[in-house]
A and B are shown apart, each in its own frame.
Chain A
Amino acid sequence: GNSVTQMEGPVTLSEEAFLTINCTYTATGYPSLFWYVQYPGEGLQLLLKATKADDKGSNKGFEATYRKETTSFHLEKGSVQVSDSAVYFCALSSNAGGTSYGKLTFGQGTILTVHP
């Protein structure tokens, strides 16, 4: 079956530091990959996505590249802000063998705290 593994958290950084959150996956077929973010007290919202190998998703200064050879989709940001403090989830959707119906398989989530 499908699975997503994220780096262990929590992650604590100072403002303007470089961020990497690792994500690797196991899936049949050719999945689409997503990063969702959950700010305190809110539901999840899409941060970025990539639908095929070598695609780069980007949004709000965050980037992630779909690496099929290493089955990875690591999240990066060059300079984090206090407002980036949130929980980040890597996820995949795969339609191997039929329709996915939009089902998502999530990683365990990584808590990011950014200090001024």
Chain B
Amino acid sequence: DVKVTQSSRYLVKRTGEKVFLECVQDMDHENMFWYRQDPGLGLRLIYFSYDVKMKEKGDIPEGYSVSREKKERFSLILESASTNQTSMYLCASSPIQEMSEAFFGQGTRLTVV
């Protein structure tokens, strides 16, 4: 069974902390993504990566950075967490073929207090 695994289901962090969200996929996919899910706004793309060490900004990259040192792992970093980053974060991966299905992790519910 194909899998995208996010390291935490729930996280509570303090304002100003540096936060790491980890994502691992076992499907040898080239593309990986971080989305943020908020009620009424759907999912919005934060960053994506199409190859190891390659990264591109999505629609809402401010306050975030990413790292992809290995093909299977894609990390989202909140450099200095703020309360407006309280949200559900979803990692996804997809193969290199255009218009392919994306596979999603279960999500990390992050609360910044």
Chain A residues at the B interface, C-beta cutoff of 8 Å? 4, 6, 32, 34, 36, 41-46, 49, 51, 89, 91, 93, 95, 99-109
Contact = CB atoms under 8 A, between A and B. Distances in A.
Contacts of A93: 98-99
Interface stretch (B11-19, B39-47, B62-70, B75-83): B39-47
A44 B90 contact: yes
Contacts of B33: 102-104
Q: Which secondary structure dominates chain B's binding surface?
A: strand
A102 B31 contact: yes
Interface residues of B, number: 28
A94 to B, nearest CB: 9
B41 to A, nearest CB: 6
B4 interface: yes
Contacts of A43: 4, 90, 92, 104-107
A5 B106 CA distance: 24
B101 A104 contact: no
B42 A107 contact: yes
A99 B98 CA distance: 8
Interface string B12-53: 000000000000000000010101000011111100101000
A49 B40 contact: no
Contacts of A102: 31, 33, 48, 94-95, 98-100, 102
